[in-house]
Amino acid sequence: MIRKLLVVLEQRDSRIKKTSFEVCSIAAKFAAKNKVEVVAIAIGDEITNLSAVSDYGISSIIHVKHAGLALYSSSAYKKIILNYINKNAIDYILLTNTAFGRDIAPRIAARLRFGLLSDCISLEITPTGFKAARPIYSGKAIQEIETIGNKGIATIRANVFPAAIQSVSANIMVQKPELIDLSNRTVEIIKSDGKIDVSEADIIISGGRGMKGPENFHLIEDVAAILGGALGASRAAVDAGWRSHSEQIGQTGKTVSPSLYIACGISGSVQHLAGMSTSKYIVAINKDKDAPIFSVADYGITGDLFEILPVLTDEIKKLNNRF
Ligand SMILES: Cc1cc2nc3c(=O)[nH]c(=O)nc-3n(C[C@H](O)[C@H](O)[C@H](O)COP(=O)(O)OP(=O)(O)OC[C@H]3O[C@@H](n4cnc5c(N)ncnc54)[C@H](O)[C@@H]3O)c2cc1C
């Protein structure tokens, strides 16, 4: 019997997010390796890049379209997704481990009584459902877990799996929702000045209490600008009112996994590491050679960030000019 897998896509501002394309790539691999039938569902109004889903190996795309669904509504989205799953006997569901995925996945799992594996950094289909690895205890250990009963839902950590191009033809079916329950809905999304969102960024430069004040963050903004990266912050910097909460990385902030994470004046508390320790390359700048951040760093610079950051900026500019 062919098993069925549903990818629940995430859209923001009428565009499918990059992290959803990563999830599509995983689903496409399962389709080839485990012979599962894959369908992706997107809920929203206009979605300008929906056909791009087929660049990541999924041709069957359902678009549940309605102006009232442009912004996320947990009540409406849940009912639409459950309706689709029940009608189509879906066995596996994949989502991003973003605020959207973390909100909707448990609601669906509880209703269906499917096992939920969240924040996965590896995932496979087994005879009993899904088997995954996920960081626990603020990233200090990796837990291996699996679902039972041949069914499962998993949310995938961003930037861990590549969004691999594998173009197939797109077959987009637009449907009207049967019911729209907007009892829980997003009223407004307040944008952070058009800056790159840390949870989507491939390069992040973060500042902590060692930055000494909001007026000094231009030093890391300069590095972020020339590297095309996003600016992050420790909770100490956010609690002090120097940076906005949308930039906070860690246990009570965002979980990120960029290719490059540069931590400036951040000590490396377990709560901060919980949000960034799976980054591919970590660079730490700290004047304390015993700071815990150095235990996870691939490259460490011991010294005063106020001397180091301007030099770093100049050197990167020189490199950029050379190539
Ligand atoms: C329940 C809970 C949840 C939490 N969630 C989070 C979270 O999500 N994210 C988070 O970040 N924290 C979180 N915290 C807070 C966390 O425990 C730390 O207090 C916080 O991460 C410290 O931030 P920091 O590294 O910027 O500051 P500090 O720990 O004060 O470190 C500042 C560092 O800057 C260095 N420094 C100072 N001056 C310079 C200089 N001139 N040049 C170079 N280096 C310099 C110092 O050597 C020091 O290592 C949480 C705490 C709790 C209890």
305-322 helix and 218-227 helix, angle to the nearest 10 degrees: 20
Q: Which atom of ligand 1 is nearest to 209's Cα? A: 26
In degrees and rounded to multiples of 5, residue 185 shows phi and psi of: -145, 155
Amino acid 320: pLDDT: 82
Extract the tokens encoding 149: 């009963």
Residue length of the chain: 323
What is the DSSP secondary-structure string of 103-149?
Answer: HHHHHHHHHHT--EEEEESEEEEETTEEEEEEEETTTTEEEEEE-ST
Pairing of strands 60-65, 37-44: parallel
Residue 172: name the closest of 50, 65, 61 by CA. 61
For atom 47 of ligand 1, which residue has the closest CA?
288
From the centroid of its chain, how far is CA 53? 17
Amino acid 194: pLDDT: 66
CB distance 45 to 129 below 8 Å:
no
CA of 210 to the centre of ligand 1 (A): 8
In degrees and rounded to multiples of 5, residue 66 shows phi and psi of: -165, 140
Domains of the chain, start order:
4-175 (3.40.50.620), 198-322 (3.40.50.1220)
CA of 248 to the centre of ligand 1 (A): 11
CA dihedral (39, 76, 185, 13) in degrees, to 10, reads: 30
Burial class (CB in 10 A: 0-12, 13-18, 19+), 224: buried
Ligand 1 site: residues with CB under 6 angstroms?
A: 208-210, 234-237, 248-253, 265-267, 269, 271-272, 275, 285-288, 291, 304-306
pLDDT tens string 21-50? 999 999 999 999 998 999 999 999 999 999
pLDDT tens string 248-303? 999 999 989 999 999 999 999 999 999 999 899 999 999 999 999 999 999 999 99
312 falls in which pLDDT band (50, 70, 90)? very high
Q: Which atom of ligand 1 is nearest to 268's Cα? A: 25
Residue 293: name the closest of 248, 262, 319, 318 by CA. 262
- 230-250 burial: b if 16+ Cβ within 10 Å, else e: bbbbbbbbbebebbeebbbbb
pTM: 0.81
Please state, as a whole number, how many other Cβ atoms lie within 10 Å of the Cβ of residue 78.
Answer: 18
pLDDT tens string 158-197? 988 989 999 999 999 999 998 899 999 999 988 766 678 8
CA of 143 to the centre of ligand 1 (A): 26
Q: Residue 302 is which amino acid? A: T
Q: Which atom of ligand 1 is nearest to 207's Cα? A: 26
CA-to-CA dists, residue 234 to 195, 213, 242, 265, angstroms: 18, 13, 10, 9
199 falls in which pLDDT band (50, 70, 90)? confident
In degrees and rounded to multiples of 5, residue 45 shows phi and psi of: -95, -125
